[in-house]
A and B are shown apart, each in its own frame.
Chain A
Amino acid sequence: MKKYWPLSFFILPGLLIYTIFYAIPTISALGLSFTDWNGLSPDYNFVGLKNYSTMLTQDPIFAKAFGNNLKYMFFVVIFQTIVSLFFAIMLAKNTKLNVFYRALYFLPTVIASVSVAFIWIFVYEPSIGSLNTFLTMLGLKSLIHSWLGDKNIAIYSLAFVQVWAHAGQVMIIFIAGLHSIPKSLYEVARIEGATRWQTFRYVTWPLLAPSATIVVAYTTLQSFKAFDLILATTDGGPSYATEILSLFLYHEAFTNYKFGYASASAVIFLLIIVSITMLQFKILKANKVNY
Chain B
Amino acid sequence: MIEKNKNTVTQVKNDTKRTSNLKEMILRQIPLVIYALLILVPLTLVFFASFKNLAQLYNDPLGVPHKWDLSNYIQLFSNENMFVYFKNSMVVTFTSVFFILLLGSMISYAIIRLPKWWGNILFAFVTVGMMIPTQVNMIPVYILFAKLNLLNKHLGLIIITVAMLLPICVFILTGFMKTLPKGLIEAAMIDGASHWQIYSRIVLPLSLPSLASTAIFCFVISWNDLLYPLLFIKSNSLRTLPLALLQFQGEYLTNYPMIFAGVVAASIPMIIVYVFLQRYFIAGMTAGSMKG
Contacts and interface: CB of A to CB of B under 8 A. Distances in A.
Interface stretch (A123-131, A148-156, A183-191): A123-131
B278 A26 contact: no
B292 A280 contact: yes
A284 B290 CA distance: 12
Contact of B28 (A25, A90, A110): A90
B62 A133 contact: yes
Interface in A13-64: 13-15, 17-18, 20-26, 28-29, 32, 39
Interface string B138-152: 111111100000000
Given A104-B40, A109-B285, A115-B266, A227 B292 contact: no
Where chain A touches its partner, the secondary structure class is: helix
A286 to B, nearest CB: 13
A278 to B, nearest CB: 9
Interface residues of A, number: 88
Nearest to A23: B129
Given A90-B32, A280-B292, A122 B39 contact: no
Where chain B touches its partner, the secondary structure class is: helix
Given A26-B132, A101-B32, A225-B133, A107 B39 contact: yes
A14 B166 contact: yes
A89 B61 CA distance: 36
Given A4-B113, A22-B160, A23-B125, 18 more contacts: A7-B195, A11-B107, A11-B110, A25-B137, A26-B137, A90-B28, A105-B36, A118-B263, A120-B42, A122-B260, A133-B61, A172-B282, A225-B133, A225-B134, A228-B242, A259-B143, A267-B136, A280-B292
30 contacts: A4-B118, A6-B194, A10-B109, A10-B199, A11-B106, A14-B166, A17-B162, A20-B163, A22-B129, A22-B160, A22-B167, A83-B35, A86-B31, A104-B39, A105-B39, A106-B278, A112-B245, A112-B266, A113-B226, A118-B245, A119-B42, A122-B49, A122-B256, A123-B45, A169-B286, A172-B286, A227-B227, A266-B136, A266-B138, A273-B132
Interface of A: 4, 6-7, 9-11, 13-15, 17-18, 20-26, 28-29, 32, 39, 83, 86-87, 90-91, 101-115, 118-120, 122-123, 125, 127-130, 133, 164, 168-170, 172-173, 176, 213-214, 217-218, 224-225, 227-228, 231-232, 246, 249-250, 253-254, 259, 262-263, 266-267, 269-270, 273-274, 277, 280-281, 284
